[in-house]
Chains A and B, each alone.
Chain A
Amino acid sequence: LAKTTQPISMDSYEGQEVNITCSHNNIATNDYITWYQQFPSQGPRFIIQGYKTKVTNEVASLFIPADRKSSTLSLPRVSLSDTAVYYCLVGVRNTGFQKLVFGTGTRLLVSP
């Protein structure tokens, strides 16, 4: 079971870059790493996904080292609206199917 570990909370200011690291020491060969964002009273929303090295989209970057035992979500120039809980998700193989397990999440607070 690829358990994930993230910081419980982080604080930042508007305009700063925020890096949230997730540890997943037991990640399996074919597992992907996915990050989600959740605002209060809403379901989580997909942000970014990767397998190795670096992935970038319009909202974030995902850095994955060669051993894949951790990953870092990078949010450039955060704004107040980035205040949310961020979840790191690693796929877990189960009898040929994926059993998807969430981490506990990181609560990011962005201040003016």
Chain B
Amino acid sequence: DVKVTQSSRYLVKRTGEKVFLECVQDMDHENMFWYRQDPGLGLRLIYFSYDVKMKEKGDIPEGYSVSREKKERFSLILESASTNQTSMYLCASSFSRTGIGSPLHFGNGTRLTVT
């Protein structure tokens, strides 16, 4: 079974802090994604990556950046955390370069609270 592991289940940070959310997958998947999930808004795509050192913006990239130095690891960075970034963050991975026909495998999420 594919395993997508997010480093923290719960995280509490202060406004203005730099925050790193880490995600590791163990199936050699090319594609990795970061979503955030908020009540009433469903899942929204922040950033995605189809290869090492490659990244593309999703629907809500503002206030976030990402890093993919190794194929198995995809990091989400909040440069200066704000209270409106309090949310559940979900990492996912999939195989194949295009992602067509390839299901996403999700981690269990990191619930981030910014105070």
Contact = CB atoms under 8 A, between A and B. Distances in A.
Interface of A: 30-32, 34, 36, 41-46, 49, 51, 87, 89, 91, 94, 96-105
Contacts of B68: none
Contacts, number: 66
B84 interface: no
Given A91-B99, A94-B56, 16 more contacts: A34-B103, A45-B106, A51-B101, A87-B43, A89-B104, A96-B98, A97-B50, A99-B48, A99-B56, A100-B99, A100-B104, A102-B42, A104-B40, A104-B41, A104-B42, A105-B43
A98 B58 CA distance: 11
Given A42-B109, A43-B107, A99 B45 contact: yes
A29 to B, nearest CB: 11
A55 to B, nearest CB: 12
Contact of B56 (A44, A97, A101, A105): A97
Q: Is the interface of A mostly helix, strand, loop or mixed?
A: strand
Interface of B: 4, 33, 35, 40-45, 48, 50, 56, 58-59, 90, 92, 97-101, 103-109
Contacts of A91: 99-100
Contacts of A30: 100
A32 B102 CA distance: 9
Contacts of A32: 100-101
Contacts of B4: 43
A23 B95 CA distance: 26
A91 B15 CA distance: 35
B4 to A, nearest CB: 7
